[in-house]
Amino acid sequence: MVRNIILLLLSTLLFWLSAGCQSDASPEITIGEPTVELSVEILGRTHAISLDDEGRLIVSAVLASSDGTVVLSIDRGTRLLDKDKKPLLSICMKSELETLAQPEDAHIIGAVYSLEPKDATFNLPLKLTLSYDPQDLPEGISESDISILPNYESSGWGESYYKNVDAERHRVTTQISRFARFAVVVPVVAASQAPTMNITPAIEVPATAATPTVKVDLLYFHRSQRCTKCLCFEERVSYVVSEYFQDEINSGQLTFRILNIGDKENVALVKKYGAVSSQLFINTIVDGVENIRDVQDIWSWDCTSKTNRFEDEVKNTIEISLRGGQ
């Protein structure tokens, strides 16, 4: 009898531990019932999303304009508040009619967009995606040079701490921490790239293209509560890095870090990368320009049973980044 009771208690304990660990795929956020409707207007197209009474988003939202040129993405659990710290009731994004001064060492391409209300606050970064016309790019500028910059009423042009350029679909994504004006920008062509007088030298020396400097930062974020899949991700990614990329690690071209999103010392990196759960990020830095990618495909690679395929996918992803690709 006593033995049966002990076995029952152990089975119950294992069940609850297993159930808690398997919830790792979504952020550890307690969200109430939907009580507030937030109206979001993106270039004339209106969306309605639900918040709880604390202003937290019930379900992740991807909000696009009618033509798909502008997309605002908000993660589940993001707390959206107005100036009085009450749940936000409206967001409006529109084309800015006012002409802005060009950023220093950069040119605006396309329209300038304004997100309001400017005094709204949110605890997690939002993602803003803007499309661009590649024909607007100056000669000598590649699509990897494109970024989105914020323009604040009080301080002017700010900096971009995150970008992801999709050259195939001609769009760029950034993370935003507050509402402002936003524009797609490209750097000014350097003087050394400007046209020069056609003077034939006495001895013609073949020109050699400068090899871009590529550095790759690989970061695996996890929560304090771990599950089998989360631990498998960490183990197999660590194996691939140590097995195939030790030379790059030793030279400093590749760095690899495993970070708990709950640790205070990781707050800045969690904010920079927008990490909310078990996620693998790869930051390809070409000539000092960061290109951060959330490797979401990791969830479709079978880590627990087909480890060889999983390792091949991770290896291929790193190799592409080390060559300057994304």
- Residue 183 has which token pair? 């524009």
Boundaries of every domain in the chain: 36-190, 214-322
Rounded to whole angstroms, how far apart are CA atoms 149 and 158? 6
Report the alpha-carbon angle 291-292-297, nearest 5.
125
CATH superfamily of 214-322: Glutaredoxin (3.40.30.10)
Write the class of the CATH domain 36-190.
mainly beta
Rounded to whole angstroms, how far apart are CA atoms 47 and 49? 7
| b/e code 69-82 from CB counts within 10 Å (16+ = b) | bbbbbbbbbbbbbe
Order across the sheet with 61-64: list the strands.
Answer: 61-64, 70-74, 126-131, 171-176, 164-166
Q: How high is the pLDDT of residue 180?
A: 93
Rounded to whole angstroms, how far apart are CA atoms 156 and 117? 17
Whether 319 contacts 251, CB under 8 Å = no
Packing angle of the helix pair 228-244, 307-322 (nearest 10 deg): 50
Rounded to whole angstroms, how far apart are CA atoms 291 and 304? 29
Record the pTM. Answer: 0.53
Q: 277: Cβ–Cβ under 8 A, 6 or more apart, which residues? A: 24, 25, 26, 27, 221, 222, 223, 261
Q: In sequence order, what are the beta bridge partners of 128?
A: 72, 174
Q: 223: Cβ–Cβ under 8 A, 6 or more apart, which residues? A: 24, 27, 28, 230, 260, 261, 262, 277, 278
Q: How high is the pLDDT of residue 217?
A: 93
Rounded to whole angstroms, how far apart are CA atoms 311 and 314? 5
Q: How high is the pLDDT of residue 91?
A: 96
Q: How high is the pLDDT of residue 71?
A: 92
The stretches in the chain having pLDDT less than 50 are 14, 16-28, 190-205, 207-209
End-to-end CA distance of the chain: 61
Q: Can you tell me whether residue 249 is helix, strand or coil?
A: helix
